[in-house]
Amino acid sequence: MKVLLVGGTGFVGHHIVHKLLRQGHEVSVLGRTPSEHLPAAAVFHTGDVNRLTDDELTDLLAGHDGVVHAATAAVYSPLNIDTAAYYRASNVEPVVRLLAAARRAGCDRSVLLGSFYATMHRQHPESRLPDGSPYVQSRLEQTSWARQAAGDKMSLAVLELPYVLGYTPGRPSAFAPQLEQLAQGKGIVVHPGEVAVAAVSEVADAAVAALDKRADGEFPIATANVSWHRLLHGFAVAGGHALQRVWRLRRWETQLVIRYRLLRTRKDGIVLGFNPAMMARLHADGMCVDTEVAVQALGIAHADLNQAIRDTARN
């Protein structure tokens, strides 16, 4: 199998590249800048999906069996612009152009790294998560439009990712702010409830399995649902940091803290693409998903959660 990855030098894409190569597949990577950590066996193509023409994308994908879109989605938008249009241009249109080109080139399988906010919206439509959240809306549109672009002859597996644990050389973790606070001895703020997390190795396993099986559908990927306290305490222990201060927030305190953090980003000239009330509610009540969907559908095994926590603490 020959596979092209967009985002193959990123936090998750790096591991998908290595997993494909270990299984004897051919790998091409499209990116703006090469990475010193990219294996020599992977062929690197300098380019940007947003700048390449449709013909150039189609030519690049010629001879490939599959494609993976693993590029990081935009979560922030600049102030004073049409945020819905910005997220659509950043998160939806590049995926559509890539999959349309892959279809024209004759690829018969594809994988898209999506978001667990889509999972939660599907499980709890009454919560109306997209309302006032252009980021969440863009993720829903991303899947819908991607399916139209892929057509009937190319499989599309959307891996809906939560917070991802692990270590990737040269790439920061999603938990970098918390890890820095722990390293500085500032203690931790603990939200109530649980949150879904996925080991980056499990995400890579799921991506490769989806390509192998030509899986089609939406698959939430989660190693476990864990309490915020267990997660952050695990980072502290793995990093050798003494927990001098732990603030266990109550539900109403969590709502105030999250709202404040989101509004504060405006001082930096950016807007986080979430409805503050929705994000506050999720952090207070929990963000959990079914951990067995991908295991059963894709035939993968759960990674070692404790090892993933220790790997994250290396960042």
DSSP string covering 285-308: H-B---TTHHHHHH------HHHH
pLDDT in tens, the chain (315 residues): 999 999 999 999 999 999 999 999 999 999 998 889 999 999 999 999 999 999 999 999 999 999 999 999 999 899 889 999 999 999 999 999 999 999 999 999 999 999 999 999 998 888 899 999 999 999 999 999 999 999 999 999 999 999 999 999 999 999 998 888 888 877 777 888 899 999 999 999 999 999 999 999 999 999 999 999 899 989 988 988 776 677 778 877 887 888 787 777 877 888 889 888 888 888 888 899 999 999 999 999 999 999 999 999 987
Q: Return the pLDDT at 243.
A: 67
Q: Quote the crossing angle between the two packed helices 134-150 and 116-123, to the nearest 10°.
A: 90
For residues 38 and 9, the answer to whether their CB atoms sit within 8 Å is yes
Is the pTM higher than 0.75? The answer reads: yes
Closest CA to 74 of 53, 101, 52, 95: 95
Q: Quote the crossing angle between the two packed helices 134-150 and 93-105, to the nearest 10°.
A: 10
CATH number at residue 130: 3.40.50.720
- Domain assignment of residue 307, given as a range: 2-312
Query: What are the CA-CA distances from residue 185 to residues 188, 236, 239 (Å)?
Result: 9, 10, 11
Q: How many separate domains does the chain show?
A: 1
